[in-house]
Amino acid sequence: MTASAKKYCEELYQRVVNRNAHEPEFHQAVQEVLESLVAVLEKHPEYMELGIVERLVEPERQIIFRVPWVDDTGRVQVNRGFRVQFNSAIGPYKGGIRFHPSVYAGIIKFLGFEQIFKNSLTGLPIGGAKGGSDFDPKGKSDGEVMRFCQSFMTELYRHIGQDADVPAGDIGVGGREIGFMFGQFKRIKNAYEAGVLTGKGLTYGGSLVRTQATGYGLVYFMDEMLTAKGMSLAGKTVLVSGSGNVAIYATEKVQQLGGKVVAMSDSNGYIYDANGIEVAAVKQIKEVERRRISEYVKQQPSAEYHPGCEGIWSIPGDIALPCATQNEIDDNAAKTLIKNGCQAVGEGANMPTTLAGTKLFLENGVLFAPAKAANAGGVATSALEMCQNSMRLSWTFEEVDTKLKTIMANIYQNTSKAAEEYGHKNNLVVGANIAGFVKVAEAMKAQGLV
């Protein structure tokens, strides 16, 4: 590595930290990408000369707004809303909306930054963005959630559009929330712009497979990665953290391909079922009843429930799929997984492994599928939903699923190829960052200083 490219990245990272104080998640995401890009910048010094990377780490637009709403007791509540439109070089901004008490500017910026590369990897024309609020939908009535979503959209609507910025769901934002937000957008705009939000219900412009897409896509990527190494999901014992949308459908697809998921979790604790998780029971608890994962043991008495979600990584397993939230696998959890013989890790959540944990996996020969590649199936299918909305068509489940599987296979091949081309064979973290970056950088170079 030449000193100039390495020094350039180190100095740029320090400027990012200084300019974005008290935002450790964003710092972490930028550091990982910059470390991967040294080899690219050596080969393409024009990216430094044109300020491509400086512009890439600075959002094109950041929006913060007040969200007032009335709870069921008649009391006024006030939350904070965010939308960070990070990069539109290859298409309209695209990225989910997260409702969770942990949301603040740094979380949204980290997610939006990751989204640039993830969206680029899909091969589809979508830029990077993210949004959200510190509102917590847990324990709220449908009426409270509706009133909040309507207030949130009353401000957000002026910043989005089917050719400008297309939000989707994320943690805390599912079909219910998307429906309420779409209804308010339509009401304010007096126009039926179906493509302005994705993750919609099937009765008003949604796409089949969208619900399953992130979880299915994760497993399709893992299957492709394992096959390339002469391995298979069949017969493997799998640990899946989380019990939301991604975790549920990753579990479903693993079991369809012959693997056995024995553990799932939520923020309170985890369940262990040596016989294999009954997905239908988890769907009922989480998607219908909206209750805690501990309820599972009432339906499956042979299963165990343990408080403390971090304990899930102490269970011996062949494959780990972290599908809950950022930084859930630290270096200690990584050491435990390695000690227990874990062969592969696939990130279903956004950045669920710390930099130290990722380094340990790579150093110990654990196959590692980074989030920006492995969990891109959700946004890829969102883009397919946009296509259907533009054409006013609805594709069958099989058509969308086939396209999703092809996209995930292509992401693996492109990521693997980029890693090898730049001297980091088998390092998919570097490969994903490079493959995602180059496409965006070339588009930025072509469009001038904007």
Among 94, 118, 130, 372, the one annotated catalytic: 130
Quote the tokens at residue 79.
């939350």
CA atoms within 13 A on the CB side of 23: 24
Could you give the C-alpha distances from 407 to 32, 157, 289, 348, 384, in angstroms and in order?
24, 30, 33, 16, 11
Inter-residue contact 428 to 419 (CB < 8 Å): yes
Which is it for the CA torsion 4, 7, 11, 13, positive or negative? positive
6 assigned to active site:
no
The closest of 261, 402, 278 to 323, measured between CA atoms, is 261
Euclidean distance between CA atoms 337 and 316, whole angstroms: 7
Inter-residue contact 107 to 73 (CB < 8 Å): no
Q: Using a CB cutoff of 8 Å and minimum separation of 24, what contacts does 52-55 make?
A: 52/441, 52/444, 52/445, 53/8, 53/9, 53/12, 54/12, 55/444
Euclidean distance between CA atoms 4 and 187, whole angstroms: 54
Quote the tokens at residue 232.
């298979």
Euclidean distance between CA atoms 372 and 347, whole angstroms: 8
Count Cβ atoms below 10 Å from residue 446 Cβ, excluding itself. Answer: 8
Catalytic (active-site) positions: 130
